[in-house]
A and B are shown apart, each in its own frame.
Chain A
């Protein structure tokens, strides 16, 4: 099955700075890469996703990049705010199959 690695496991940034979380995957057939945000006491929620036919996708302050050749993808958050503090999970899957989640990154934005 797919193996998704995620780094770093914890990340602290000053408010207003950027945060970058990186993931690698093993199955070259994977073609869908969602990112989930889990706030304290809640379930994970999709924040952005990217498919393998696209190299980059942006939604306001968050963006995701995908390098299919290197089999890695990254989440970029710009102008971080305290409400961005959460645990972030990357995932990889072949459409129609189950997700394989990364190990999570605990992001803390320091006011």
Chain B
């Protein structure tokens, strides 16, 4: 079956611009996660959705970052007034339950470059 997909695969933008990154989770997965990965580092948690609601947004670095999941499926990560330090690979993952032993399925990521 289809895995987690993310679009675009690459995004180049200029400092100060607004960007949207999309994640299509595996069908039926209620939990969705966004991570950010800088070069040479492990992924860093940003936000987690259970259904339509953001259950934990403690990883969002500041109020320029926002994410939505209006119908409990597709999610969009939105970054306002982008800065060069926002350049990273943004990863999305989904899982089927809240259980701690449940596998997270990751997408291939969106590489964001802010010039």
Do A and B associate with each other?
Answer: no
Which B positions have Cβ atoms within 8 angstroms of A?
Answer: none
Which A positions have Cβ atoms within 8 angstroms of B?
Answer: none
